């Protein structure tokens, strides 16, 4: 019935899996991954079967259902080997379920496949790719099982575990005759809309009585006439397992579309059903149920995904979290308490301090973070702190990023501080680790929860269930089990319990086969190649290592198992050297004894270092330490170059090692040295090697130039080059800090040469970056030196350039950065700040906006005049006072509008007065006083600011009421875009935080209209209840509380929402008063809301609407219909002209019923 109402995203599924009725299975994994650290198995998604996977896991973790199915042997169900025989009656569905449950229990694989099970359902690939509703599947699967088990000892399996009954009763108020009707159920469907939780929904269904009276009388068979009666329902028989289906999907008849209820809907971990049962004489334990499964739907009503929270009743899984699993031993260096893990600064400092040079590529930093805390940056910190690279940039006072953001290190001061901080935390860490052992707290006594999401199984905490109360990802089905159901001790942590022998043998054989194949695969996959470079075959010159003879003769390839240790690698290299040197291997006195001849050959210890080929030659990086560590743990990669040496020198020359001194091969252009005076001096382009940590000024020393200017080539586009001058103060920076790489070009110009060498070559563009730098030539006749002046590109400079380019003048302009919605974002205020400080990059769009910004700490607030219609809101301008009379109390009254019927609840009149520039430290009263000085305000006669009420403007209507007269504007958190409207008052008011200001309108008898609105202040100190509001309204209008009806007006829907008298709904059989709160759904009452009042003494009907409401709703329907027609016309036009470049969106498929095909076994 739902078809593909809940479609999943098929973008990751190959089109080859689609077919029209044909069976096109995805190819099974030849070697499935073993189970994860939880020791539980997931189920692979076939494309759209997440709903099936969630329900199957729930049934699998229902031990009573699983064992009842296992109790049916081949003599009753038949054998899968005989399923193709024509005369054999093989009950395929229960057999495949048995086999699937056995795989989930015993087979060592990360996820089981449901392909054989869906085959038994008779599903094609179309049905496996289409997602259905899990509530519908629950009923259809139970029906298929009941049909499949007819004639076996398990024929009543479903009824025995899930069947319950409800009794509906109608009691005649006259003769007390009871009319009864009993209904069966396998699951209970409960409402979500306008209900706060499961308890309230059950109360409405099985405690509340529906009364038949007035125009809705009941025909009693005994009395043979229409009488008053009461209808109620009760639970008569409770099953061992109770399933609740939540009605989260509804239909909006106004918009003609489906929608999902995402409001908060609570449900308890344990529930007592005694108040809802017909028989309540038994002990309370008979009515107690525990939650053990929650199926969750994530997404909307036209697409989404299912997963399930499961309670491990039999303790089959390992609830230990992965980060604890990887470090079972308490280790102060690796384990941190939860508070420290939440601080990314502390974690990143600890990772960098473990590096010898405190320098590491940013990409490797993320990997080391994952290894240290067991969870990646994106999963742990990205949502709160953003990407890792951006986080490092924002904390430049701690981390030093290279110019190309590829490497990061700790600043020296911060590294010392971090070391002291970590030492200071060690004692606290020890206390935390010894008081809270990780992982298996109370494991034998308390079952734990897991999140099973298709193939992925993760442990969760019980409190995580509360996150599924509301939102787009929320609970959809709830499964409870009787608290009295106890599991036998032999079933605890025993996955083989009650599994039939033939399935045990099948799973054992499959596990043996899997282990053999994995061992073979591991042996093949874990071998990798290492390239060994022996130091006697190399010599050091021009900043790098080079082979003495040739590269081929200086390198040896070694195949090695990366699971072995570094010590094993050393021994293998010794054996390789013995073969190379043709030396016999002498006897060893112990495992650490080294061959004496090799010691003499190396003249010291053998050191293994990671080396890499760079353009300058072979460079040695970090030294490998820790002979007990495996090559995987020290992160040796396939094809790594290993340099074998004594760790100090090669050929008598000390070798610089590490990434900080990596040699750079640069192209240096320098003047040609000539004894003859040439009219046009030439440039020589020569390669030269410099250490990356050397100062740029060392170029002068290398080329014997006493002083000069250095320019760096910056390629703008193909065939075009530009040169940037390096200021003198930056000559002490290193090549790496300046952003130079291998192949970069630098130009040396002698400062004594007054002529530019760039223009004489004729092949370079001689532009210098005009925004960042200017080179100023000293044209005075004095012997002053030439200076380089740094001119930063500030926001103010950018503003002037944009005004000049636009041909505009004046200072009443400011800049805003375009956001990702292509709209003007927040104003850029710091005019003297550099563009880099404002995080402005190349390609950003700046908008030139008219209007001068207020100074920092000031607000520019637009002021509006708000004049609601009503007897208490008749302040008049000076021009209108001739038509008004002044009464006592300072109220201006106009005779022409007294007691006129009104629909003023739909009208909001705002008039712009002007802008006020005011400090954020000013009070609300000062804002009102400054607004009264606006020229437009002079038209109104307001005695003082105390006679003004302030609102924020939201969607062209008054929004939030600003109460405290002496509260600072900063505390209201108004923001730069907030607008304020002022409403006149007839007297001063002092509203407290517990007061709510409502607009009340009395309905005119005999007319579909209301009197003018009147302000009413409601004190909510005793609660936001309907009874409290009704008493306040009745007292305000001097009416009996039982003779009024009130309703809240919803202007966006042109509807009135009645606020009922909750006391009138309490019946004799009701044992609990329903708690109402008008702050919550569906009323969400707040300041400024309109409340309609109906006097039942003169009018007794249920209609609150007006003629204007009818017109408004009709216009809304016409608008929705016109929008729908325009969308359909657009789709038709786009379908008539197909585009070859664009792939049309896959249309939503027609609704199709879900079915499971079962043979006849009667």
Q: Which residue has the tokens 């081949």?
A: 74
Q: Do the beta carbons of residue 870 and residue 904 sit within 8 Å?
A: yes
Q: 379-401 as b/e, with b when 16 or more CB fall inside 10 Å? A: ebbeeeeeebbebbeeeeebbbb
Query: Which uninterrupted H or E stretch holds 650?
Result: strand 649-650
Task: Name the 3-class secondary structure at 819.
Answer: coil
**3-state DSSP assignment of residue 590:** coil
Quote the CA–CA distance of 1149 and 210 in Å, as a whole number: 41
305 catalytically annotated: yes
What kind and span of H or E run contains 550?
none
Strand pairing category for 640-645 and 527-534: parallel
Residue 293's nearest CA partner among 264, 269, 316, 266 is 269
Residue 612 CA: distances (Å) to CA of 301, 479, 622: 55, 59, 11
50 is catalytic: yes
Structure-token pair, residue 778 = 């000293």
Q: What is the CA radius of gyration of the chain?
A: 40
Q: Which residues make Cβ contacts (< 8 Å) with residue 300, sequence separation at least 6?
A: 259, 260, 472
395: helix, coil or strand?
coil
Question: Is residue 543 classed as helix, strand or coil in its secondary structure?
Answer: coil
The tally of CA atoms less than 13 A away on the side-chain side of residue 342 is 3
Whole-number Å distance between alpha carbons of 264 and 448: 25
Q: State both tokens at 128.
A: 């496996």
Q: Where are the alpha helices (DSSP H) in 987-1106?
A: 1026-1037
Catalytic-labelled residue, pool 60, 297, 305, 670:
305
Closest CA to 904 of 1012, 1000, 1007: 1012
- Give the H/E segment covering residue 1115: helix 1107-1136
The token pair that represents 849 in the structure block: 């906006």
Catalytic residue among 50, 220, 661, 798: 50
- SS3 state of residue 98: helix
Cβ burial 35-67 (10 Å sphere, 16+ → b, else e): bbbbebbbbbbbbbbbbbbbbbbbbbbbbbbbe
Residue 19 CA neighbour count, 13 Å, CB half: 12
3-state secondary structure 407-423: EEEECHHHHHHHHHHHH
CA neighbor of 347 nearest in space, from 357, 359, 363, 334 = 334
Give the burial string for 460-480 (b: 16+ CB within 10 Å, else e): beeeebeebeeeebbbbbbbb
Q: Please tell me the distance from the alpha carbon of residue 634 to that of residue 818, in angstroms, as a whole number.
A: 46
711 three-class SS: strand
State yes or no: cis peptide before 1082, omega within 30 of 0. yes
Nearest by Cα to 627 from 589, 574, 687:
574
CA distances 289 to 54, 270, 666, Å, are 21, 6, 76
Q: Which residues are catalytic?
A: 50, 305
């Amino acid at each position: 019935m739902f078809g593909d109402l809940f479609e999943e995203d098929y973008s990751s599924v190959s089109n080859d899996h689609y077919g029209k009725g044909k069976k096109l299975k995805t190819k099974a994994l030849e070697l499935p991954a073993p189970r994860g650290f939880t020791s539980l198995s997931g189920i692979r998604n076939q494309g759209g079967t997440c709903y099936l996977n969630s329900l199957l896991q729930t049934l699998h973790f229902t031990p009573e259902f699983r064992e009842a199915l296992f109790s049916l042997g081949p003599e009753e169900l038949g054998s899968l080997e005989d399923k193709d025989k024509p005369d054999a009656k093989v009950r395929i569905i229960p057999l495949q379920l048995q086999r699937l449950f056995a795989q989930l229990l015993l087979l060592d694989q990360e996820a089981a496949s449901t392909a054989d099970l869906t085959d038994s359902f008779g599903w094609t690939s179309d049905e496996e790719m289409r997602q259905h509703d899990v509530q519908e599947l629950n009923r259809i699967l139970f029906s298929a099982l009941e049909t499949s088990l007819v004639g076996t000892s398990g024929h009543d399996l479903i009824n025995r575990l899930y069947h319950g009954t409800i009794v509906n009763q109608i009691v005649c108020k006259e003769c007390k005759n009871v009319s009864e009707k009993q209904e069966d159920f396998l699951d209970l469907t409960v409402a979500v809309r306008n209900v706060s939780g499961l308890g309230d929904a059950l109360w409405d269904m099985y405690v509340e009585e529906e009364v038949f009276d007035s125009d809705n009388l009941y025909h009693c068979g005994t009395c043979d006439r229409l009488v008053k009666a009461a209808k109620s329902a009760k639970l008569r028989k409770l099953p061992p397992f109770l399933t609740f289906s939540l009605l989260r999907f509804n239909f909006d008849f106004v918009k003609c579309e489906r929608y999902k209820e995402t409001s908060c809907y609570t449900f308890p971990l344990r529930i007592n059903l005694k108040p809802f049962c017909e028989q309540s004489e038994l002990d309370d334990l008979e009515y107690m149920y525990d939650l053990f499964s929650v199926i969750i739907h994530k997404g909307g009503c036209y697409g989404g995904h299912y997963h399930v929270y499961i309670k491990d009743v039999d303790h089959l899984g390992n609830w230990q979290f992965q980060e604890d699993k990887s470090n079972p031993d308490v280790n102060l260096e690796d384990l941190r308490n939860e508070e420290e893990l939440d601080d990314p600064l502390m974690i990143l400092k600890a990772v960098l301090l473990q590096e010898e040079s405190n320098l590491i590529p940013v990409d490797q930093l993320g990997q080391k973070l994952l290894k240290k805390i067991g969870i990646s940056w994106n999963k742990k910190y990205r949502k709160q702190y953003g990407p890792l690279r951006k986080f490092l940039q924002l904390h430049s006072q701690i981390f030093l990023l290279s110019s190309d953001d590829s490497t990061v290190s700790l600043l020296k001061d911060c590294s010392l501080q971090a070391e002291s901080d970590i030492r200071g935390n060690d004692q606290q860490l020890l206390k935390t680790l010894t008081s809270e052992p990780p992982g298996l707290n109370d494991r034998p006594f308390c079952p734990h929860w897991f999140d099973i999401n298709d193939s992925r199984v993760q442990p969760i905490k019980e409190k995580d269930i509360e996150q599924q109360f509301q939102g787009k990802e929320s609970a959809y089905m709830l499964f409870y089990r009787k608290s009295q159901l106890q599991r036998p001790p032999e079933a605890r942590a025993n996955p083989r319990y009650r599994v039939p022998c033939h399935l045990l043998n099948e799973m054992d054989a499959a596990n043996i086969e899997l282990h053999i194949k994995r061992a073979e695969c591991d042996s093949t996959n874990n071998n990798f190649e290492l390239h060994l470079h022996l130091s006697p075959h190399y010599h050091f010159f021009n900043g790098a290592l080079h082979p003495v003879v040739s590269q081929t003769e200086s390198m040896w390839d070694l195949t090695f198992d990366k699971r072995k240790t570094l010590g094993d690698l050393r021994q293998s290299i010794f054996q390789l050297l013995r073969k190379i040197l043709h030396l016999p291997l002498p006897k060893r006195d112990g495992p650490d004894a080294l061959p004496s001849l090799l010691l003499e050959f190396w003249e010291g210890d053998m050191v293994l270092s990671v080396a890499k080929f760079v353009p300058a030659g072979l460079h040695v990086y970090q030294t490998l330490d820790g002979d007990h560590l495996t090559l995987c743990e020290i992160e040796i990669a396939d094809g790594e170059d290993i340099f074998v040496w004594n760790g100090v020198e090669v050929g008598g020359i000390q070798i610089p090692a590490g990434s900080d001194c990596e040699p750079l091969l640069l192209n240096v252009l320098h003047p040609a040295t000539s004894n003859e005076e040439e009219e046009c001096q030439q440039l020589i382009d020569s390669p030269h090697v410099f250490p990356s940590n050397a100062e740029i000024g060392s170029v002068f020393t290398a080329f014997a130039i006493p002083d000069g200017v250095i320019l760096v080539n910056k390629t703008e586009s193909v065939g075009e080059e530009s040169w940037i001058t390096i200021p003198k103060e930056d000559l002490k920076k290193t090549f790496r800090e300046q952003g130079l790489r291998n192949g970069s070009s630098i130009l040396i110009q002698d400062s004594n040469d007054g002529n530019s060498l760039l223009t004489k070559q004729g092949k370079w563009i001689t532009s210098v970056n005009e925004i960042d730098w200017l080179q100023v030539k000293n044209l005075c006749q004095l012997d002053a030196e030439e200076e380089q002046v740094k001119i930063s590109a500030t926001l103010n400079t950018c503003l002037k350039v944009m005004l000049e380019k636009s041909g505009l003048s004046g200072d009443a302009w400011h800049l805003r950065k375009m956001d990702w919605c292509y709209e003007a974002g927040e104003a850029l205020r710091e005019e003297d700040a550099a563009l880099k400080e404002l995080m402005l990059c190349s390609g950003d769009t700046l908008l030139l906006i008219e209007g001068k910004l207020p100074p920092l700490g000031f607000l520019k607030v637009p002021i509006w005049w708000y004049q609601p219609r009503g007897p208490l809101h008749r302040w008049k301008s000076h021009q209108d006072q001739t038509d008004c009379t002044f009464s006592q109390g300072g109220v201006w009254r106009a005779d022409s509008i007294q007691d006129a019927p009104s629909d003023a609840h739909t009208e909001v009149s705002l008039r712009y007065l002007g802008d006020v520039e005011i400090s954020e430290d000013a009070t609300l009263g000062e804002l009102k006083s400054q607004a009264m000085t606006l020229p437009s305000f002079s038209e109104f006669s307001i005695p003082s600011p105390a006679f003004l009420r302030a609102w924020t403007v939201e969607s062209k209507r008054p929004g939030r009421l600003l109460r405290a007269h002496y509260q600072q504007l900063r505390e209201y958190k108004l923001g730069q875009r907030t607008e304020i409207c002022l409403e006149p008052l007839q007297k001063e008011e002092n509203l407290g935080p517990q007061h709510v200001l409502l607009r009340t309108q009395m309905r005119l008898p005999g007319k579909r209209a209301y009197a003018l609105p009147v302000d009413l202040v409601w004190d909510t100190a005793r609660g936001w209840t309907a009874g409290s509001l009704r008493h306040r309204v009745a007292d305000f209008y001097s009416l009996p509380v039982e003779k009024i009806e009130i309703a809240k007006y919803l202007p966006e829907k042109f509807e009135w929402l009645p606020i009922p008298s909750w006391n009138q709904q309490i019946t004799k059989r009701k044992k609990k008063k329903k708690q109402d709160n008008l702050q919550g759904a569906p009323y969400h009452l707040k300041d400024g809301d309109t409340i309609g009042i109906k006097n039942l003494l003169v009018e007794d009907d249920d209609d609150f609407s007006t003629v204007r409401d009818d017109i408004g709703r009709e216009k809304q329907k016409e608008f929705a219909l016109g929008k729908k027609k325009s969308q359909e016309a657009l789709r038709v036009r786009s379908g008539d002209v197909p585009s070859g470049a664009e792939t049309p969106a896959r249309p939503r498929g027609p609704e199709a019923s879900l079915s499971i095909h079962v043979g006849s076994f009667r």
